[in-house]
Structure 1
Amino acid sequence: MKSLMVAVLYVLLTGQALAEEAEVKVFAIQGERLQYQPPQGWKIAYMEGTPDGDYVIEYLPDGENLASWRTGYLSIRRKSLPSENIMDQIKAKKLHLPALVVAQLQQDAKQGCQGKFEAMSHRDNTYNNLYFSVSGGFCGKYGSAAPYGEGSIVAVVEAKANFFTIQYGWRPVSDTDLKDYAWRITPENAEKYIKSIMRMRVCEDAAACQP
């Protein structure tokens, strides 16, 4: 069972790395999707996938770029649920897919960190009749793109046909920037990101997302 889970999670999480800089080609999403509002002034920096299948959308504050962003980052990813057989095995173990995905993302972040990794607590809950998991953390050094570290808050939501991964990220601009705050993020920004995630909801189509 363990090897099966590892294989499944590898397939589900393939392609989680930040996309390279490229021309943005925005397409209209079809089917089940998240309804959300990016922070004011943030724009789509990258979009890849298919309208009715898996996709990823990345947002950055105006003036930032994917190669060297500092002040903020948001990604929304949709992936199809694994097969019914796999989902049945997960449920038989009294587990939940979002919790498994978040745990794996945390493990990957810790292993990829070149400095000290400070994890946030892992919380599971049900909201708007959907099961979700939330966690995050801060890596003290994460490659040349983030020499002063990088933090993230990640949430995974299980819907009817897909699961959605939401990630907010931030990077200190200097060695001393935000050092007085846990995970190098102000309480105001942390609250803003959490509230943004909690306001998101899953819709089965565009019409269902209308207020």
Structure 2
Amino acid sequence: MKRMNFHSKKRGIATVVTGTALAAALTATMTSGVSYANSETLQGLSPGAVSADGKFFTPGPNTVVKRNAGEAAPGILSGEALATVNPGPAGTAAAYQLKNARWIGQQCGTDLLSQTSGAGKTTLVLTVEKAVAATYTKEIGIEVKAISAGMGWSVTNTYTVKNENRYEVPAGKWGVVQAFPLYDLYQGDVYNLWGPDTGKDAYASKPVGVCFNSWNQ
């Protein structure tokens, strides 16, 4: 399992976080209608690969992670991400802003995008191009537009993930290729609009590619 280091501003020490722990930190708010893969769908993964909330999994030896094919330079930011955060009464959501947004890793989501299967000997080809919703969560009542402004991109938009994977299935075997969204994970510090750090954080995950999980049996 890949280990990633980032520094905790609150404790002033380096924290080692596994991919699964990063996923658990993002108990994200998803759009309605999203269904997550169950244990039967997510085959070929090591024990404990799926986060406690069931929304992310750590890539295993059967997973190929691909960022978007032909990904273009970032375009114009959405109106939400550019929105001015106006002052509000003390204690209200509008009284907060997000600072120090930073990338803390990447993770595969468990929302199944597409799947193909077949008997070997054969080559399975799975091509994916689908809009996937970004997600976010927060530890304090900061407005969503303030999170987007701090992140520099809309945390409520959908983003197109696009890529392709080929998988060779041996003779006499049944092969499966599944596609799941790949997310970049971000964390930011919530500040009072005219004051100090609140000690709380906001998190967001942006769709940036596809995780292809493949196996045969």
TM-score (norm 2): 0.28
More strand by share: 2
